[in-house]
Amino acid sequence: MKTIKYALQDGIATLTFDEPDSPVNTMCQQWHEDLTAAAAQVLKDKELIKGIILASAKSTFFAGADLKALMRLRAEDAPRIYTEVEQVKKNFRTLETLGVPVVSCLNGTALGGGWEVALVGHHRIAVDDRKIQFGMPEVSLGLLPGASGVTKMTRHLGLLGAQPYLVEGRLFGPREAFELGLVHELVPDAAQLRDKAMSWIIANPAAQHPWEAKDYKIPGGTPANPKIAGMLAVAPAMLKQKTRGLYPAPEAILACMVEGAQVDMPTALRLESRYLARLMTGPNARAMINTFFFNMNAIKAGQSRPKDVAKYKPAKVGLLGAGMMGAGIAYVQASRGIATVLKDVSQVKAEAGKGYSARLTQARVDKGRMGPHDQKELLDRIQATDQAEDLKGCDLIIEAVFENRELKARVTKEAEPMLAAGGFFASNTSTLPISGLARASAQPDKFVGIHFFSPVDKMKLVEIIRGKQTDDETVARAYDYVQAIGKMPIVVNDSRGFFTSRVFGTFVMEGAAMLAEGIPAAAIENAGVQCGMPVGPLAVLDETSLSLSVHVMDQTRADFAAEGTPYTPTQGEQLVERMVKELKRPGRAGGGGFYEYPAEKGVKKFLWPQLHTLFEKADASWNIEDLKDRLLYRQAVETARCLSEGVLTSVHEANIGSIFGIGFPAWTGGAMQFIYGMGVDAFVARADELAKRFGPGFALSEEVKASIRKFQPVY
| 512 close to 572: Cβ distance less than 8 angstroms | yes
Residue 205 pLDDT: 97
Question: How, if at all, do strands 134-135 and 110-111 pair?
Answer: parallel
Residue 227 pLDDT: 86
CB atoms within 10 A of CB 298: 18
Please enumerate in sequence order all residues whose Cβ is within 8 A of that of 468, keeping only pairs 6 or more positions apart, or say none: 435, 438, 494
pLDDT tens for each residue of 364-410: 999 999 999 999 999 999 999 999 999 999 999 999 998 888 999 99
- How does residue 306 score in pLDDT terms, banded at 50, 70 and 90? very high
Q: Please give the Cα distance from 264 to 278 (Å, whole number).
A: 22
Q: Please give the Cα distance from 387 to 243 (Å, whole number).
A: 49
- How does residue 233 score in pLDDT terms, banded at 50, 70 and 90? confident
Closest CA to 459 of 287, 663, 601: 663
Q: Which long-range contacts (CB under 8 A, 24 or more apart) does 346-352 make?
A: 346/386, 347/384, 347/385, 347/386, 349/322, 349/386, 350/322, 350/384, 350/385, 350/386, 351/384, 352/322, 352/327
Q: How far is CA 392 from the centre of its chain?
A: 37
3-state secondary structure 431-447: CCCHHHHHHHCCCHHHE
Check whether 482 has a pLDDT greater than 90. Answer: yes
Residue 558 pLDDT: 86
- How does residue 566 score in pLDDT terms, banded at 50, 70 and 90? confident
Specify the domain boundaries for CATH 1.10.1040.50 within the chain. Answer: 501-646+650-710
CB atoms within 10 A of CB 67: 20
pLDDT tens for each residue of 11-37: 999 999 999 999 999 999 999 999 999
Q: Peptide bond before 455: cis, by omega within 30 degrees of 0?
A: yes
Q: Please give the Cα distance from 353 to 698 (Å, whole number).
A: 42
| 256 close to 275: Cβ distance less than 8 angstroms | yes
Question: How, if at all, do strands 4-9 and 12-17 pair?
Answer: antiparallel
Overall pTM > 0.75: yes
Q: Which amino acid is at 469?
A: Q
Residue 552 pLDDT: 84
Torsion of CA 135, 139, 144, 147, to 10 degrees: -30
Residue 53 pLDDT: 98
- How does residue 685 score in pLDDT terms, banded at 50, 70 and 90? very high
pLDDT tens for each residue of 241-257: 889 999 999 999 999 99
Which phi and psi (to 5°) does residue 293 adopt?
Answer: -115, -65
**Mean pLDDT (whole number) for 453-458:** 94
- Integer distance in angstroms from the first to the last C-alpha of the chain? 26
Q: Please give the Cα distance from 544 to 346 (Å, whole number).
A: 26
Which phi and psi (to 5°) does residue 595 adopt?
Answer: -115, 160
Beta bridge mates, 672: none
Q: Please give the Cα distance from 328 to 451 (Å, whole number).
A: 13
| 45 close to 8: Cβ distance less than 8 angstroms | yes
Beta bridge mates, 13: 8, 52
- How does residue 588 score in pLDDT terms, banded at 50, 70 and 90? very high
Residue 544 pLDDT: 87
- How does residue 66 score in pLDDT terms, banded at 50, 70 and 90? confident
Which phi and psi (to 5°) does residue 114 adopt?
Answer: -65, -40
- How does residue 497 score in pLDDT terms, banded at 50, 70 and 90? confident
Check whether 108 has a pLDDT greater than 90. Answer: yes
Check whether 562 has a pLDDT greater than 90. Answer: no
**Mean pLDDT (whole number) for 137-158:** 97
From the number of C-beta atoms within 10 Å of its C-beta (0-12, 13-18, 19+), residue 451 rates as buried
Specify the domain boundaries for CATH 3.90.226.10 within the chain. Answer: 4-281
Determine the topology of domain 501-646+650-710 in CATH: N-(1-d-carboxylethyl)-l-norvaline Dehydrogenase; domain 2 (1.10.1040)
| 34 close to 4: Cβ distance less than 8 angstroms | yes
**DSSP codes joined into one string, 619-642:** T----HHHHHHHHHHHHHHHHHHH
| 674 close to 632: Cβ distance less than 8 angstroms | yes
Q: Please give the Cα distance from 396 to 391 (Å, whole number).
A: 9
Closest CA to 166 of 50, 275, 27: 275
Please enumerate in sequence order all residues whose Cβ is within 8 A of that of 546, keeping only pairs 6 or more positions apart, or say none: 576, 579, 580, 585, 586, 587, 590, 593, 594
SS3 of residue 684 by DSSP: helix
Does the domain at 316-496 match CATH 1.10.150.310? Answer given as no
Q: How many residues belong to the chain? A: 715
Is the C-alpha dihedral spanning 680, 681, 685, 691 positive or negative? positive
Question: How, if at all, do strands 316-320 and 461-466 pair?
Answer: unpaired
Closest CA to 450 of 394, 498, 486, 378: 498
Beta bridge mates, 339: 316
Question: How, if at all, do strands 606-607 and 595-596 pair?
Answer: antiparallel
Check whether 555 has a pLDDT greater than 90. Answer: no
Is the C-alpha dihedral spanning 628, 631, 636, 637 positive or negative? positive
**DSSP codes joined into one string, 638-650:** HHHHHHHHTS---
Closest CA to 375 of 395, 394, 354, 391: 354
Q: Which of left, alpha, beta for 142 (phi over 0: left; psi -120 to 50: alpha)?
A: left
pLDDT tens for each residue of 161-215: 999 999 999 999 999 999 999 999 999 999 999 999 999 999 999 999 999 999 9
Residue 387 pLDDT: 97
pLDDT tens for each residue of 670-679: 999 999 999 9
Average pLDDT, the chain: 96
Check whether 110 has a pLDDT greater than 90. Answer: yes
Secondary-structure breakdown of the chain: helix, strand, coil percentages, each rounded to the nearest 5: 55, 15, 35
CATH number attached to the domain at 4-281 = 3.90.226.10
Is the C-alpha dihedral spanning 638, 640, 645, 648 positive or negative? positive
Closest CA to 573 of 581, 565, 564: 581
Specify the domain boundaries for CATH 3.40.50.720 within the chain. Answer: 316-496
**How much of the chain, in percent, has pLDDT values that exceed 70?**
100
- How does residue 310 score in pLDDT terms, banded at 50, 70 and 90? very high
Q: Please give the Cα distance from 121 to 204 (Å, whole number).
A: 13
Beta bridge mates, 343: 320, 385
Residue 431 pLDDT: 82
SS3 of residue 556 by DSSP: helix
